[in-house]
Amino acid sequence: MEEVIKINGGKPLNGTIRVSGAKNATVALIPAAVLAYGKVKIVGIPDISDVKSLEEILEYMNVKVTTPNIDEIVIDTTNMVNKPLVIDAVSKLRASYYFMGSLLGKYKHVAIRMPGGCNLGPRPIDLHIKGFEALGAKIEYDNGNYILSADELIGTRIYLDFASVGATINILMAAVYAKGQTIIENAAREPEIIDCINMLNKMGARIRGGGTSNIVIDGVEKLEGCFHEIIPDRIEAGTYIILAAAMGEHVIIDNVIPYHLDSLISKLKEIGVNISFSYDQVEVAKNDKPYESTNVKTMPFPGYATDLQAPLTALLTQAIGNSKITETIYIERFKHCNELNKMGANIITASPSATVVGPTELTGCDVKATDLRCGAALVVAGLIASGTTTIHDIYHIDRGYEDIVAKLSALGADIYREIID
């Protein structure tokens, strides 16, 4: 038995689709909340499986987790116990590694299993470890588990060889209780980092420079509980903007922060998408001109997001001409191309680039989500394709897209879940 998503493609999309809270902020905010002595209430939590895994880890550490509403979580660390995190839930998502920074920061000791997550090629955490060691932590490896410990953490200057999102967040969490000042140089600038810093500062942390390449953390004695609302998910928003560009007659994507989407909106305008945005909405209207090919290179924020590379690739199969896609973040992130080619696309991959020869007719068939954003790309392609597309391994999609079937059905898509043998 397996649950799949089926799409009968070719249907025009109309209406408004609302974006949920940001997955990649949520999976940092929940581990960051354990730094507080008291209750942290976070609203805007997306209903995705990664959140369930993190709640399981919290409860394993005797953290009291309540959910007053579907999109709210209250985290109470009063009776928390810093236990070795070697349970299966840790392996379900890469972001469980954020407990390294928060538990090291709070207790000066953490034991945790190697992180899991999407198979995008090598995903080392050497920069995280470099930061923890610079702060004074000792790192040991025991049978696939990391053990981090420190008599005390002393603020210092840490240069990141790559503007890593995860390393930036993990190190700043370890530094909030360190003695003195920590400066993270060549820090990542993603909005999810700013959101995490905003919540920590509400708790009483002293962190400056969020969104810039230099983040300064002045260690404090204690962090209190707080209330925080999560930013909208720019990758979910971008995915829906792309599928609206593919099949929309008139679609409004609601609850976005437009500057988070600058690079995508610019790229879509380049290929000829009729797109406009207002305060917190993006509007996509059908136009009669076919789309033109373009070239895109993924970069750290504010460059073009690697997480929107696969969905854009699906759209570019409909553009006239050859589009070149270059990955600079995950050079092996092209597994979606094989699946799209099964549907009739003509994509030639030679890592770190892929060339999409368009336009091509897409025909529905059985395809497999190899990771979260591949799954998103296959949804875009399934909406475009003639016939029925059956997407397997949809647990990847459920990690990061709340209610995707319901949201797209409301726009007129013929999309549904089915249990098959």
Kindly state the smallest distance separating residue 309's Cβ from ligand EPZ, in Å: 9
The smaller minimum CB distance to ligand EPZ, of residues 128 and 392, is found at 128
Cα separation, 105 vs 39, in Å, equals 18
Segment lying near ligand EPZ (by CB under 6 A), choices 57-65, 121-129, 254-262, 344-352: 121-129
Tell whether residue 306 is a contact of ligand EPZ (CB under 6 A): yes
Of the listed 118, 196, 226, 337, which one is catalytic?
Answer: 118
Q: Which span sits near ligand EPZ by CB under 6 A: 164-172, 212-220, 222-230, 378-386?
A: 164-172
Instruction: Name residue, tokens 């380049």.
Output: 270
| Cβ-based neighbour number of residue 197 at 10 Å | 25
Q: Could you tell me the two tokens for 32?
A: 């960051």
265 touching ligand EPZ, by CB under 6 A:
no
125 vs 237, beta carbon nearer ligand EPZ: 125
| Contact residue for ligand EPZ among 125, 223, 319, 354 (CB under 6 A) | 125
Q: Is 187 in the site for ligand EPZ (CB under 6 A)?
A: no
Radius of gyration of the chain from Cα atoms?
21
Pick the piece of the chain touching ligand EPZ (CB under 6 A) from 158-166, 201-209, 269-277, 360-368. Answer: 158-166
CB of 269 to ligand EPZ, least distance (A): 22
In sequence order, what DSSP letters do the residues of 252-288 get, joined into one string? Answer: EEES--GGGGHHHHHHHHHHT-EEEE-SSEEEEE--S
* Candidate list 22, 29, 32, 118; residue touching ligand EPZ; CB under 6 A: 118
State the DSSP H helix or E strand holding residue 131, giving kind and residue range, or none if neither. Answer: helix 126-134
Strands lying side by side in the sheet with 72-76? 64-66, 72-76, 37-43, 224-229
Shorter beta-carbon distance to ligand EPZ: residue 174 or 235: 235
| Nearest to ligand EPZ of 131, 225 (CB atom) | 131
Place of tokens 């829906």: 240
Site for ligand EPZ in 204-263 (CB under 6 A): 235
Site string for ligand EPZ, 9-28 (x = CB under 6 A): ---------------x--x-
Separation CA 29–CA 254 (nearest Å): 23
Residue 420's Cβ-count burial label (10 Å; 0-12, 13-18, 19+) is: exposed
313 binds ligand EPZ (CB under 6 A): no
| Number of neighbouring beta carbons within 10 Å of residue 122 | 7
Cβ 7 to ligand EPZ shortest distance, Å? 21
- Give the 3-state secondary structure of residue 322: strand
**13 or 32, CB closer to ligand EPZ?**
32
Q: What are phi and psi of 83, to 5 degrees?
A: -95, 155
Please say if 226 is a catalytic residue: no
Point out the residue whose Cβ comes nearest to ligand EPZ: 166
Assess 394 for contact with ligand EPZ (CB under 6 A). Answer: no
Q: How far is the CB of 331 from ligand EPZ (least distance, A)?
A: 7
Count of residues near ligand EPZ by CB under 6 A: 26
| Integer Cα distance of 282 and 261 in angstroms | 10
Restricted to residues 55-114, the positions that interact with ligand EPZ (CB under 6 A) are: 94-95
- The residue count of the chain comes to 421
Tokens linked to 190? 């993603």
Shortest Å, Cβ 372 to ligand EPZ: 5
170 forms part of the interface with ligand EPZ (CB under 6 A): no
End-to-end Cα separation, the chain, in angstroms: 4
Token readout for 282 is 């993006």
Q: How far apart are alpha carbons 415 and 407 in whole angstroms?
A: 10
**CB closer to ligand EPZ out of 23 and 407:** 23
Stretch that binds ligand EPZ, among 39-47, 124-132, 148-156, 247-255 (CB under 6 A): 124-132
Compare residues 248 and 375 and give the one whose CB is closer to ligand EPZ: 375
Nearest Cα neighbor of 369 from 406, 348, 400, 347 is: 400
Span of 120-128, 172-180, 216-224, 261-269 interacting with ligand EPZ by CB under 6 A = 120-128
Out of 59, 123, 290, 348, point to the residue binding ligand EPZ (CB under 6 A).
123
Q: Is residue 244 exposed (0-12), middle (13-18) or buried (19+ Cβ within 10 Å)?
A: buried
Contact 34, 246 (CB under 8 A): no
Site of interaction with ligand EPZ (CB under 6 A): 24, 27, 94-95, 118, 122-128, 162, 164-167, 188, 235, 306-307, 329-330, 372-373, 400
Q: Could you give the residue numbers annotated as active site?
A: 118
